[in-house]
Structure 1
């Protein structure tokens, strides 16, 4: 049987493909390569270049491969961009996901793992780690577009022989400890990625958006999860569904938060050199503080994170930035 990975040339998707290959799975990848990279995809995977809304291409993929599960990463992920251009997010994240889900039902693919986000919660009402029963109040079209897809999956599972797992990611960072892939997108907005580029001189500075939030140091607080642990959560979700487990929505985070300034201090510490920080106004769509309660994922998936260490996350990210610098100099 084959696992189809959408967006498998992107940051998280490429880690997922490697994890599946390492686990002995047959893998097919669909990616239009708008932000992903062909070289980031494990060579053992079967690659199809194109869009997940291309029905003819999906027909070909499902005809040529005995797909028993889809792991869906393809989509747009920049919160401020979603605020300024909401319709493109509802098209790329919601409408195209609907096309993919419809193709899965049509071809009787029984299992689906969805890349959702903590942005579906917005800013929680309390500072306690958020669990899956918390209110869903997305503060950006990005969060809303992901929540809409969760709703489509829920309703599809109620109507068809179809089981899904939606994993609500917190802030994903770091890179493959074996150095095979990492966050490579030009102009990426992930904090640790941007800080790593500033530390290595690829950027002149890093901007901090907002220093007047109601947090200990005035900057936003997030729960950072290593991308390898996140990929492993997907493997566990796939294993659970293949064993007969029902549909599930679960958080993927470590359960503790770090402020923007704490992250930048850690990058300086690990790298050993300073870099310029510029302070600006808040960005639209940014939640104040959000930290996961990952108990459900640990209980239901048997998920055991191995890299719950901010310095390790930063170190692997910096190692990948150094690798990219050498790669681009060739």
Structure 2
């Protein structure tokens, strides 16, 4: 991209898992970048030392106004990548008000501040949970959106806010609906660091390194070849690359907004993932068979046709063993970081 069009980017939640990888992707591509994170689930060590980190909340209008004015040596924020929020589906069912506050109310505050400051572009971290229990798979962007939990609804509400605001103000946006994000930076600069994370590959590599005794398999009676749930796993660095390309697309066509699935278009079952972890680590993880969890679809696979047609996106790590190897490498490094 023309360097003159690389505007300063503010990454919300940039000390978290996916946000920190977006920061690396932006930085590697030469974009000026800063981070705002309240560090409730993020980590200072995930933000490169030469990237400004504003410790605070996206609901703080005064802080946002200051960042927007200061960023890029006073050039001002030219785009926002919005990752800040809560992401644990069962918790959203138990504590829906937390999710509607963190994910929806705070997003509204961020969008309002962006409009006031004249920030023209926003990339939003959305989710396949907006589709709920789709009747067909693979899932296209036109599949009916019927969330079955407050997490999915909180994200869908933010998508709707962005659509309405972009129709009324000079702000275009891209909502990227993630499928199952996994892996870590290939150079082990960042990874999934959350204690007690529920992501299957994170849990499995912890078990392979002796940090957990076993891995729970929730349900073996799904309508899938081996009876366990099938998901579309996307490498976090490929996902981060998609965000940078989406931002370039928004800048190139400011009158256009985008909504796109982020996945590879193929799925792996829980047992296939665990077998792959066994293969990569050359050890056998203990599996504990448990009952189904409410709201888990049999299969959730993306149709990535739109993102491939819209962006020059060429995934570099679309291989399950590679995803696992990078997650394992990060898990070992995380043990060193934490002593």
Q: 1:289 and 1:154 mapped to 2: Cα distance? A: 29
2:18 is aligned with 1:9: no
- The aligned runs of 1:62-73 (5 Å cut-off) are 62-65=68-71, 66-73=76-83
* 1:178 matched residue in structure 2: 187
* 1:56 matched residue in structure 2: 62
* Structure 1 position 268, deviation (Å): 0.7
* Structure 1 position 327, deviation (Å): 2.3
Is the Cα contact below 8 Å between 1:80 and 1:284 reproduced in 2? no
2:294 is aligned with 1:284: yes
- The aligned runs of 1:74-89 (5 Å cut-off) are 74-89=84-99
Count of residue pairs the alignment pairs up: 328
For 1:300-321, what per-residue CA distance to the aligned partner results, in whole angstroms no more than 9, with x for missing partners? 1121111110010001001111
* 1:44 matched residue in structure 2: 50
The one of 85, 102, 109 equivalent to 1:99 is 109
* 2:40 matched residue in structure 1: 34
The one of 164, 179, 189 equivalent to 2:173 is 164
- Of 208-217 and 70-79, more deviation after overlay is shown by 208-217
* Structure 1 position 57, deviation (Å): 1.2
Structure 1 vs Structure 2 CA RMSD: 1.0
* 2:3 matched residue in structure 1: none
Q: Secondary structure at the match of 1:208?
A: strand
The one of 208, 213, 217 equivalent to 1:208 is 217
Q: 2:69 and 2:248 mapped to 1: Cα distance? A: 24
* Structure 1 position 42, deviation (Å): 1.5
For 1:209-264, what per-residue CA distance to the aligned partner results, in whole angstroms no more than 9, with x for missing partners? 12222222221111000001000000000111111251000000000011111111
The one of 112, 115, 121 equivalent to 2:125 is 115
Q: 1:131 and 1:98 mapped to 2: Cα distance? A: 26
Is the Cα contact below 8 Å between 2:133 and 2:295 reproduced in 1? no
Is the Cα contact below 8 Å between 1:120 and 1:138 reproduced in 2? yes
TM-score by structure 2 length? 0.95
The one of 152, 158, 163 equivalent to 1:154 is 163
* 2:233 matched residue in structure 1: 224
Q: 1:150 and 1:138 mapped to 2: Cα distance? A: 13
Is the Cα contact below 8 Å between 1:90 and 1:145 reproduced in 2? yes
Note the residue ranges of structure 2 that are not aligned, 5 or more in a row: 1-6
Q: Secondary structure at the match of 2:338?
A: helix
* 1:237 matched residue in structure 2: 246
Is the Cα contact below 8 Å between 2:221 and 2:228 reproduced in 1? yes
* 2:329 matched residue in structure 1: 319
* Structure 1 position 284, deviation (Å): 2.5
Large movers: runs of 4+ above 4 Å: none
Note the residue ranges of structure 1 that are not aligned, 5 or more in a row: none
Q: 1:288 and 1:137 mapped to 2: Cα distance? A: 16
TM-score by structure 1 length? 0.97
